[in-house]
Amino acid sequence: GQGEWFRVTFDTVYGDVPLIEEGGANQINMVQEVQKGDAPYRREVQTFKCDASAGTFTVSFRGKTTTDTLSAGAASATTTVIALRDALAAIGVEADVYKETGDDEICNGKGMVFIEFTALQGDIEPLTFTQPTTSGTLTASSGEANGQVDGVHPVWGTFTLSFGTDENGDPWTTAPIAADATGDAVQRALEALPSLGDVTVTATRIGQCLDKNTEPPRMV
């Protein structure tokens, strides 16, 4: 027979999501996109799978590398998603870390590890991982495969702030500041200006986050 057509609408996954994978005989054999999804804001999610049974590994991001020991071996305090979360926080990555299987061991080979960015916003560059030092492999996902999600944010790029002028009448201007900068980052940039002393900067959140979390984008 000709089979039937089904229309699938994504209710809790936002943005331009990848197509459902086509199957073989007696499975899904034709998938078409009817309408692209859109989202003003959603969190970045990066995933990896590790099947090592011994050794350690590190994670790097924007020139910083974890120094806490992340074990790829038998179950211990350094093999858990909590240990990975804390190690990431130490290099400036605030994230929720969890397993699709619900357990908390990073490298037991049972399911993907999800890293959901909670502070940095937009389409974030990938984390990089070293391979376990003794055995097994750690494989980071690419694109939007294996549950990865490219972050979306309505504000992109950088901005600068100026205050006062120098002896030539030119404004004292900060270095470029990321659009999603924290209050502390803006404070450091302002306090670096010779024309300013100590300041206090507070970041608040505005708008609505259209994903399973309720925290909206941060704006300074």
Residue-wise pLDDT tens digits, 136-190: 899 999 888 888 988 877 776 789 999 999 999 999 999 999 877 888 889 999 9
Q: Report the predicted TM-score, pTM, of the whole model to 2 decimal places.
A: 0.62
53-83 pLDDT tens trace: 888 999 999 999 998 778 876 666 678 999 9
> What are the residues whose beta carbons fall under 8 Å from the beta carbon of 61, sequence distance 6 or more?
88, 91, 92, 93, 125, 127, 128
Nearest to 120 by CA among 217, 12, 47: 217
Q: Helix or strand or coil: residue 56?
A: strand
Q: Strand 218-219 to strand 70-71: parallel, antiparallel, or no bridges (unpaired)? A: unpaired
Q: What is the distance between the alpha carbons of residues 69 and 107, in angstroms, rounded to a whole number?
A: 14
Q: Helix or strand or coil: residue 206?
A: coil
Q: For 184, phi and psi rounded to 5 degrees? A: -65, -40
Alpha helix stretches (DSSP H) within 47-180: 81-89
